[in-house]
Chain A
C-alpha cells in the first residue's frame, strides 16, 4: 500500500499534490543537491532495496516525528488580536452598509432631478423645469446631511468610504452645475456647490476632484442641449454655450492632471466643445445668429 493511500481523506487537490510529490520526479520539493543525489542513486540501485523504501513497515527513524508533541504556539495572543480585528471590521462593514443605504437614496433623488432637467431639451418654460429639480436638490441636501451624520462615528475616515459615494456625487454635481448655468449662465464654483449640498470642508466636504469630474459630466450635456435649442428656434444659445464651454475648457487646461478618471473625462470635454462649435458655425453661416 503506497503511503499516498493514507491521505485518502484529504481534499482532491491536496491528494493530487501529494501523489505528485511521491512520483520519481519529486525534485521540486527537495533541495537540488538531494534531488540530484536521488536520481543518481536511483539508477544504480538494484530493485530489492527500492521495494524496501515502499514497504509497509514504518521506517525506523531516529528523527521519530511523532515522539514530540507539536510545540505550543502562543495562540491566545493571536486569537485575541484576530478577535479584535473581526469586531473592528464587522463594525466598519456595518457602517458601510448604512452608507450604501443613504447613497442609494441620493442616487434615486439625483435621477429624479436629472430626469426633470431633461425637459430642457423640449420647449418647456425653464422655470417649470427648474421647480421640480430644485425640490430634489433639497432632498439630496438632506441625504448628504444624513451621510455626514453616519460618518461622524468614524472621524478622519471620509476617504476610507469615499468610493461608496463618489459616482453619485459626480452625477449630483453635474446636475447642480447644469442647473446653475441654466439659471445664471455662469459656472457653479466649488464653494457654492458645497453650500448647495449643505456640506463644509472641515468635516464632510465636497472633494475637489469629485467637483471637477462633475463639471466634465455637465459639459457632456451641452452638445445635445444646443442642438435642441436651435431646433426650437433659439439661435442665440449656441454662442452663449460656446463662450461658456470655451472658458471652461481653457480653465481646465490650467490643471496638471494625472492619468486617472478625471483626466479621461476632461479629454471628453474637447469633443463636446467641437460639437458646440459646429452647431454655432451652422447657425452663423446661415445668417441665423441674431445681430
Chain B
C-alpha cells in the first residue's frame, strides 16, 4: 500500500559518505589530541603524587634533634616537585582545559597541597593558604602563558587529607615525648575541621569531600584520645626510650612504697 506520509527524500547521492568521513576525520583528530593531553596530565599527576608522598614521609621522620634539616630537605624536595612536575601542568591546562580535564590531574594537586601544608605547619604552625600556593606557582609561567592557579576545590580536598597526616604526626610525636606538640596539632586540626564543616556543603559534587570529612573526624578523635591518655597519665607518661628520662622515676610513676 502506498504510504501517505510524505516520503523521505533520497539522500544526496554520493556526497553523504565522503562528507561524513571528512567530518569524522576532524573529530578523530580532536579526540586524539584531547586524549593524548589527558594521558600527559595523568602521567604528570602520578609523578606529582609520588614525589609529594616522599616529601610527606620525609617530614614524618622529624624528631626534636633533626627538625631543621628534615624541614629544609622537605622544602627543597617540594620546590623540585613544583619546578619539574607541576610545571608540566602549566602548559597543558590553558583555557577551558583547566576545568575540562580536572579529573586527570586533581589527585596529584591534592597530594601536593597535602605535602606543602604539612611542611608549612611543621615549620610555623600555621595553615598554608591557597593564595600563597598560587603566588608561588606564578613563577612557573612566562608572560605568554596563562599561569596555573589551583582551584579552591582541589585545595580543600588536599587540606582534608592533611588531617590524616597530622594525626600520624601527633601520635608519633607523643611516642617521642613531644606531648605539647601533639596538643598544638590537636588544636590545629580541630580548627580545620570546624572551618571545613561550613564550606563542604557548598562544594561542587561533594561526595568525595563528605567521605574525607568522616575520616577527618576520626583523625581528630584519635588525636584527642591520645592527648587525653597523655593528660590522664601525666607523670606516668614518660618517654621510656629517651636517654634524658629521669632515672629517679620508676615505671608508671608508681612509688616504691605504699601510701
User: Using a CB–CB distance below 8 Å, which chain A residues touch chain B?
Assistant: 3, 7, 13-14, 17-18, 21, 26, 29-31, 33-34, 37, 41, 45, 48-49, 52-53, 58-65, 68, 70-71, 73-75, 77-79, 81-82, 85-86, 88-90, 92-93, 96, 120, 123-127, 156-160, 162-163, 181-187, 189-190, 208-209, 212, 229, 232-234, 236-237, 240, 243-244, 247-248, 250-252, 254-258
What's the least CB distance linking B181 to chain A, in Å? 10
Interface size class of B (residues with CB under 8 A): 35 or more
Which of A77, A233, A255 is the one whose CB lies under 8 Å from B3? Answer: A233
B139 interfacial contact with A, CB 8 Å:
no
Scan residues 150-197 of chain B and give those whose CB is less than 8 A from a CB of chain A. 152, 156, 171-172, 175, 179-180, 183-184, 187-188, 191-192, 195-196
| Listed A/B pairs (21) with beta-carbon separation below 8 Å | A29-B226, A37-B240, A48-B258, A49-B252, A60-B234, A63-B230, A65-B234, A70-B184, A77-B126, A123-B4, A156-B96, A181-B8, A184-B11, A184-B12, A185-B12, A190-B27, A208-B30, A232-B1, A240-B8, A240-B10, A247-B20
Residue of B nearest to A154 (CB): B99
Which residues of A lie under 8 Å from residue B131 when comparing CB positions?
Answer: 81
Give the shortest distance, in Å, between B187 (CB) and chain A (any CB): 5
Question: Sorted from nearest, which 9 A-B pairs have the closest CB atoms?
Answer: A61-B234, A185-B11, A31-B175, A89-B202, A59-B234, A61-B235, A49-B254, A159-B100, A251-B24
Is the Cβ of B23 less than 8 Å from the Cβ of A156?
no
* A81-B23 contact given A26-B229, A255-B28, CB 8 Å threshold: no
Nearest chain B CB to A256 CB, angstrom units? 6
A-side contacts of B90, CB under 8 Å: none
A interface secondary structure, majority: helix
A19 to B70, CA, bound (A): 36
Say how far A278's CB is from chain B's closest CB, in angstroms.
20
Tell whether, in the assembled complex, residue A58 and residue B3 are in contact, meaning their CB atoms are under 8 Å apart: no
Where chain B touches its partner, the secondary structure class is: helix
Expressed in whole angstroms, the minimum distance between the Cβ of B190 and any Cβ of chain A is: 10
Partner of A18, one of B152, B184, B228: B228
- CB within 8 A of B23: which of A3, A13, A75, A187? A187
Q: A190: which of B23, B233, B252 is its contact (CB, 8 Å)?
A: B23
Contacts of A229 in B (CB 8 A): 3, 5
- A59 near B233 with CB under 8 A, answer yes
